[in-house]
Amino acid sequence: MYDDTFKGCLIKDKWQGVYYPNGCLICEGDYLWSPIFNSRNSCLSWGESLKAKSKNSDDTFECGKNCKWDGNFNICEETI
**Per-residue pLDDT tens listing for the chain (80 residues):** 445 555 555 679 999 999 999 999 888 788 999 999 999 999 999 999 999 999 899 999 999 999 998 887 889 999 99
Q: Strand ranges (DSSP E) for 1-80? A: 15-20, 32-33, 60-65, 68-70, 73-75, 78-79
- Predicted TM-score (pTM) of the model is 0.79
**Which pLDDT belongs to residue 32?**
93
**Which pLDDT belongs to residue 7?**
54
**Which pLDDT belongs to residue 39?**
97
Q: Hey, where are the domains in the chain? A: 12-79
**Which pLDDT belongs to residue 26?**
82
